[in-house]
Amino acid sequence: MSNTRPLLEVRNLRVEFPTRRGTLVALDDVSFDIHPGEVLGVVGESGAGKSMTGAAIIGLLEPPGRIAAGSISLAGRRIDNLPYKEMRTVRGREIGAIFQDPLTTLNPLYTVGRQLVETMTTHLPLNPAQARKKAIEWLELVGIPAAAQRIDSYPHEFSGGMRQRVVIALALCAEPKLIVADEPTTALDVSIQAQVIALLKTLAREKGTSMMLVTHDMGVIAETADRVAVMYAGRIAEIGAVRQVVKHPAHPYTIGLMGSIPPISHRMDRLLQIEGAMPRLSAIPKGCAYNPRCPRVFDRCRGERPELLDAGDTRAACWLYDRADKDAAHAVAESGYGEVRHA
């Protein structure tokens, strides 16, 4: 994948919310790529900036939120500065969206067939009859039984899992290049979650569609994504291949997240706990935003904000991986928190 040009390029993205008491920074200098056919997972606690990143990409930031700096490019074309009407064309045709609650996506007054047909006739060179035939095919593809009969049903006539499948069909039916899936399985029970995850993986690979999968569930990430970006307080704390981040986390925050998941291989008396809470946007600390909660913190962390540094097989925004910093090496030795691998 690294030899191909990225489909999505996000560079130094900054999202601000002006208020009477000052400007709140929701995303600060966020950069990443997604390659064709790749699934990038974005994970972190509530308030980390995951959904905000997705909303910025698809052009659905809630006012007064605004992109204050940086750029977003899709297939080499910058899209963050497009006029509203032009962005509406991009959204749906080139970028599809799957949201946590399917009832916020589906219009309760229209049948699912009408919504699929309207989406396809808007974005593809199809007449209504052709679009209806394709709509039935999409419903069958996402696992809706008796699709030819259910196409004229209304959203409330489907179960939660079936509605989410309809939303997936709606997001994919215009054959977009990129899907932004924001917590697509959170409202579903475990068995339906597994089905939806398997469906997303299959469709992404068969159709060659790229995907940004936003979730707080590392299990979903481990099962679905190729790479993962761990976010904290509006920034990327660590990014790398899923297997490396899960098996060998580098950033202390990622180590905490992984340590809070109970293993199935052996019994543990107590799971690792991350003390404290995510800082409010109005109270993000100076230096590394994670420093008040970090068990490896040292002086530099409180004064300077780290960029992403090579941390073995991943990249982590942590001064522990600055090989030139003697204080970092001392902090590792003194912490007793485990070995930190240096690039």
Q: What's the pLDDT tens digit per position in 273-315?
A: 888 999 999 999 999 999 999 999 999 999 999 999 999 999 9
Return d(Cα 258, Cα 136) in angstroms, integer: 42
* pLDDT value at 18 more than 60: yes
CA nearest to 53, candidates 256, 229, 254: 229
Task: Give pTM, 2 decimals.
Answer: 0.90
Better pLDDT: 64 or 161: 64
For the record, the structure tokens of 3 come out as 């030899």
Q: What's the pLDDT at 161? A: 86
Q: What's the pLDDT at 222? A: 87
* Three-class secondary structure of residue 304 per DSSP: coil
Q: What's the pLDDT at 103? A: 82
Q: What's the pLDDT at 141? A: 85
Q: Residue 310: which residues within 8 A CB-CB, separation 6 or more?
A: 321, 343
When pLDDT is cut at 50, 70 and 90, the band that residue 122 belongs to is: very high
* pLDDT value at 342 more than 70: no
Q: What's the pLDDT at 343? A: 33
Output the 3-class SS for 138-154: HHHHCCCCCHHHHCCCC
Give the pairing type, strands 178-182 and 95-98.
Answer: parallel
Lowest-confidence pick of 1-15, 153-167, 278-292 = 1-15
In DSSP notation, 168-204 reads HHHHHTT--SEEEEESTTTTS-HHHHHHHHHHHHHHH
What's the mean per-residue pLDDT of the chain?
Answer: 89
Return d(Cα 36, Cα 38) in angstroms, integer: 6
CA nearest to 42, candidates 307, 177, 226: 226
When pLDDT is cut at 50, 70 and 90, the band that residue 330 belongs to is: low
Distance set, CA 263 to CA 216, 260, 266 (Å): 18, 9, 6
Better pLDDT: 203 or 275: 275
